[in-house]
Amino acid sequence: MTRSPQSILVTGGAGFIGSAFIRRLFADTAFAGKVVNLDLLTYAGNPENLKGAVDDARYTLVRGDIGDQKLVDGLCEQHGVDAIVNFAAESHVDRSILGPGVFVQTNIVGTYALLEVVRKRPSIHFHHVSTDEVYGSLGPTGLFTEQTAYDPSSPYSASKAASDHLVRAYQRTYGISTTVSNCSNNYGPFHFPEKLIPLVILNLFEGKELPVYGDGLNVRDWLFVDDHAEALWAILTRGQVGQTYNVGGNNEWTNIAIVKKLIELVAELKGKPKSELESSIRYVKDRPGHDRRYAIDSSKLQSELGWSPRHDLESGLAETVRWYADNAAWVNGVRSGAYREWIDQNYAAR
């Protein structure tokens, strides 16, 4: 079964992964369709992530909430939407520990609202972008497969788990066309600097401390964001209705090893001694409910849809460090209060 969507509603397309997906669509000469980007432009969303990367005649940005069914329904009608790719979410585990409410609202209730629209408009295919964190924590061995039981540890992962369940339940109950993907940790350009990799890179540039939670031995399976975007396109166009696909990079690293690798790369780039940068490592209090290890078995996606990651972690991290070096001033501006005012003035709800 193949789909060739011509009018795609991308939700959360101003965020880290959604913007990579939209950049990928417009870079693909085989894609001649339109993209509507529905994004609430929270602290994590940034329209400039797409600057110069879209064809204006085929791209519309709408500031709005996925929970606003009327708005979503109107956009589907107006633009003849034939596919929705749902990236919109609150995505940071630490923030979910401090304030779970918005995670429940956007990730669960927001996904429900989108599904209600698709229920009324069953010609739309709905792809739901989710995370490997729904599976909980692994011991020293083993991999998450699509059959692994859900066992989320944080309010963030619990909210994503709930949304995945809703998507599959709507598919089985109402017969709508859906796919789900569960991906491991992404990294790359445009990653918001609250997450480990961009935070450490910017702190290294600025001579600040590098906070490492607990003993630093938690393991994540890292995937370059463009490889995720490619996997999503494969699933959107060729994935089987009702199926779930795990996406992962086969790149298991402990957090402390990632931090040390980033130190090596920044030391080389800035001509600084490694030992000086290493002295900035600070072991800090652990994250509550901190999952020990994630690792993905993506063999289903590889064998059924022929996807495989193109970037290895060494070259992907080197590319990422160079990107942050070239764009450090801009990224710091994006974090600042002045930038929020700019967003609010330029993207007042329409």
What angle (nearest 5°) sits at the alpha carbon of residue 293, between those of residues 291 and 297? Answer: 125
Cβ atoms of 35 and 65 within 8 Å: the answer is: no
Least distance to ligand TDX from the beta carbon of 241, Å? 24
Sheet holding 34-39, edge to edge: 59-63, 34-39, 7-11, 83-86, 125-131, 177-183, 244-247
Residues of span 161-200 touching ligand NAD by CB under 6 A: 183, 185-186, 192
Chain positions 61 to 90 lying near ligand NAD, rule: CB under 6 A, are 65-67, 87-89
> Residue 212 touches which of ligand NAD, ligand TDX, none (CB < 5 to 8 A by kind)?
ligand TDX
Among 93, 138, 223, 236, binds ligand TDX (CB under 6 A): 93
Question: Which of the choices ligand TDX, ligand NAD, none does residue 106 contact, using the CB cut-off of 5 to 8 A by kind?
Answer: ligand NAD
Burial string for 8-34 (b: 16+ CB within 10 Å, else e) reads bbbbbbbbbbbbbbbbbbbeeeebeeb
In the complex, the smallest distance separating the C-beta of residue 346 from ligand TDX, rounded to whole angstroms, is 26
Q: Partners of 62 in the beta sheet?
A: 38
Give the phi and the psi of residue 279 in degrees, each rounded to 5.
Answer: -70, -10
Q: Mark whether 116 is an active-site residue.
A: no
> Is 82 annotated in the active site?
no
The b/e string for 130-150 (b: 16+ C-beta within 10 A; e otherwise) is: bbbbbbbbbeeeebbebebeb
Tell me the backbone φ, ψ of residue 39, rounded to 5 degrees. -140, 135
Alpha-carbon distance 247 to 180, whole Å? Answer: 10
Q: Which of residues 210-239 bind ligand TDX (CB under 6 A)?
A: 211-213, 218, 220
Catalytic residue among 65, 73, 82, 132: 132
Site string for ligand NAD, 261-300 (x = CB under 6 A): ----------------------------------------
Among ligand NAD, ligand TDX, none, residue 226 binds (CB under 5-8 Å by kind): none
Q: Is 106 in the site for ligand NAD (CB under 6 A)?
A: yes
Residue 74 makes contact with ligand TDX by CB under 6 A: no
Instruction: Check if 326 is active-site.
Output: no
The position carrying tokens 């790369």 is 265
**Catalytic-labelled residue, pool 156, 187, 294, 324:** 156
Beta-carbon count within 10 A of 240 CB: 12
Q: Which residues are catalytic?
A: 132-133, 156
> Which residue ranges make up the site for ligand NAD (CB under 6 A)?
11-12, 14-18, 38-42, 44-45, 65-67, 87-89, 91, 106, 110, 129-131, 160, 183, 185-186, 192
